[in-house]
């Protein structure tokens, strides 16, 4: 049984852990030992990890401990155990993409984001489970078994980064990296009651990340707390010559506005997105969240985001077309190892014409302009992260306002538009259902304005705690 001290260490955030390191109240070796023991005991509950880096994490913990004794703590991630979605390449560590096709694949280099983490002194504790090839929002079809919701093992943990969010929620790491092509960081963050950011497109390098869609893929951090998320994203940001889609820009420190008040700010409420065709418990949680923001001094302004159905149509065409081109060789070469559902989804993308893709791109550009116009009048927009509570594992349809809906499409309804348009969006917990399942709220910001999203998220988080 865990001691009170050990339980406390496991449940703190990465900034709190770094503070304990600075005070020399605990060592990285003690933390990694504790985590490895907990993963051994608790991972079966959620199936969050595919691979645990036992030997290398202990080695890196000893190295970090020596560095701290000689030179002190060199930064917020020094000695902090971080997990990595098993879609992101890790040198000499299996990277499976949640697929039998890659079950024995071992990269000979690190993804740029992993290099950045290691350069900051972080310890890679393991690789987390994912929907096969990251092609789905449920994480219940991995070759290595379904990821289960930490609050109810009969429910999905969300996908595709389900293992990453579940690992954070069950205190089996202090932060993690996921990927997000249609909501794959934010959906599982909502399902597991944690904080997940999809940043501005191009802020984080995707070099060494197995692609799903070239123009909608993002890497993003998942943490327990908003401030931790801001710090982690700051370490990951920056131009990378190995990724031609990464942006050459002087990025603002994501943590710079954490703690600032909200008086005088304006929050846009897309009425159709917030309050129509969602389950009642989600609606009530968002209404309560809006009241919290108003109490913090923010002004609320109803807005009309145009062409919502057109945006979802464009998301579908672009994502499926690109996913087919990325993965078509897998369908023909590895039929015996690729899951049937994944194979069928990949093949769907072969049905579109070039004119369909170009029409979708035009919709994309028109709606980027529409969002930019709204952001002249509001600082952030609010939507639910999901229109429904986490459905059952394997469930294909779910009931939303007395209407049966495709689970996969419903889960991505509020999240996929910002993948298409490139705007940053943050999911954070905003309550629980009567059955004890987490409910998430999504904040959408201007491009390059992640620091402001964290300002709003942190203020909301603190208000709930007080």
pLDDT in tens, 159-179: 999 999 999 999 999 999 999
Segments in the chain below pLDDT 50: none
Instruction: Give the per-residue pLDDT at 274.
Output: 72
Question: What is the distance between the alpha carbons of residues 163 and 165, in angstroms, rounded to a whole number?
Answer: 6
Instruction: Give the per-residue pLDDT at 334.
Output: 64
120, 232 Cβ separation under 8 angstroms: no
Domain 9-236 carries which CATH code?
Answer: 3.90.1300.10
Question: What is the distance between the alpha carbons of residues 136 and 442, in angstroms, rounded to a whole number?
Answer: 19
- Count CB neighbours of 358 within 10 A: 11
Residues with Cβ within 8 Å of residue 159, at least 6 apart in sequence: 130, 131, 134, 136, 137, 138, 139, 140, 147, 184, 187, 188
79 burial level (CB within 10 Å; 0-12, 13-18, 19+): buried
Question: What is the distance between the alpha carbons of residues 28 and 39, in angstroms, rounded to a whole number?
Answer: 16
22, 77 Cβ separation under 8 angstroms: no
Question: What is the distance between the alpha carbons of residues 310 and 165, in angstroms, rounded to a whole number?
Answer: 30
Tens of pLDDT, residues 25-49:
999 999 999 999 999 999 999 999 9
Instruction: Give the per-residue pLDDT at 401.
Output: 77
Taking the whole predicted model, whether its pTM rises above 0.95 is answered as yes
29, 66 Cβ separation under 8 angstroms: no
Question: What is the distance between the alpha carbons of residues 453 and 221, in angstroms, rounded to a whole number?
Answer: 14
* Active site residue ranges: 85, 160, 184
Question: What is the distance between the alpha carbons of residues 153 and 147, in angstroms, rounded to a whole number?
Answer: 9
Instruction: Give the per-residue pLDDT at 2.
Output: 65
Q: Where in the chain is the domain with CATH 3.90.1300.10?
A: 9-236, 266-311+351-465
Instruction: Give the per-residue pLDDT at 335.
Output: 65
The architecture that CATH gives domain 266-311+351-465 is Alpha-Beta Complex (3.90)
Instruction: Give the per-residue pLDDT at 99.
Output: 97
């Amino acid at each position: 049984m865990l001691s009170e001290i050990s339980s406390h260490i496991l449940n703190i955030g990465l900034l709190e852990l770094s503070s304990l390191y600075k005070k020399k109240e605990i060592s990285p070796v003690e933390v990694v030992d504790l985590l490895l023991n907990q993963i051994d005991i608790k991972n079966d509950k959620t199936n969050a990890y595919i691979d645990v880096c036992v030997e290398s994490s202990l080695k890196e913990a000893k190295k970090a401990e020596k560095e701290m004794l000689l030179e002190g703590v060199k930064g917020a991630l020094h000695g902090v155990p971080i997990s990595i979605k098993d879609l992101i390449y890790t040198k000499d560590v299996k990277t499976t993409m949640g697929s039998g096709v890659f079950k024995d694949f071992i990269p000979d280099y690190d993804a740029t984001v992993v290099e950045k983490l290691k350069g900051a002194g972080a310890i890679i504790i393991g690789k987390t489970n994912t929907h096969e090839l990251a092609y789905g929002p449920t994480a219940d079809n991995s070759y290595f078994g379904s990821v289960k919701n930490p609050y109810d093992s009969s429910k999905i943990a969300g996908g595709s980064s389900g293992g990453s969010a579940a690992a954070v929620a069950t205190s089996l790491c202090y932060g993690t990296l996921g990927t997000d092509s249609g909501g794959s960081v934010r959906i599982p963050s909502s399902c597991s009651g944690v904080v997940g950011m999809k940043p501005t497109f191009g802020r984080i390098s995707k070099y060494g990340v197995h692609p799903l869609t070239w123009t909608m893929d993002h890497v993003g951090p998942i943490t327990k707390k908003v401030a931790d998320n801001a710090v982690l994203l700051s370490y990951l940001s920056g131009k990378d010559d190995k990724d031609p889609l990464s942006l050459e820009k002087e990025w603002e420190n994501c943590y710079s506005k954490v703690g600032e008040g909200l008086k005088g700010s304006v929050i846009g409420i897309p009425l159709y997105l917030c309050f129509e065709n969602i389950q009642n418990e989600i609606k009530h949680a968002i209404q309560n969240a809006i009241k919290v923001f108003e109490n913090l001094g923010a002004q609320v302004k109803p807005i009309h985001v145009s062409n919502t159905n057109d945006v979802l149509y464009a998301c579908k065409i672009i994502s499926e077309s690109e996913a087919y081109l990325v993965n078509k060789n897998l369908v023909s070469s590895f039929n015996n190892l690729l899951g049937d559902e994944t194979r069928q989804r990949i093949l769907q993308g072969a049905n579109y014409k070039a004119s369909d893709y170009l029409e979708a791109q035009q919709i994309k550009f028109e709606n980027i302009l529409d969002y930019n116009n709204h952001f002249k009048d509001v600082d952030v927009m609010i939507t639910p992260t999901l229109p429904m509570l986490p459905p059952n594992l394997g469930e294909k349809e779910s009931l939303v306002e007395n209407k049966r809906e495709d689970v996969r499409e419903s889960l991505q309804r509020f999240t996929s538009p910002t993948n298409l348009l490139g705007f940053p969006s943050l999911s954070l917990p905003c309550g629980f259902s009567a059955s004890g399942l987490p409910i998430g709220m999504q904040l959408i910001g201007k491009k390059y304005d992640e620091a402001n999203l964290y300002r709003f998220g942190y203020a909301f988080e603190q208000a709930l705690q007080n």
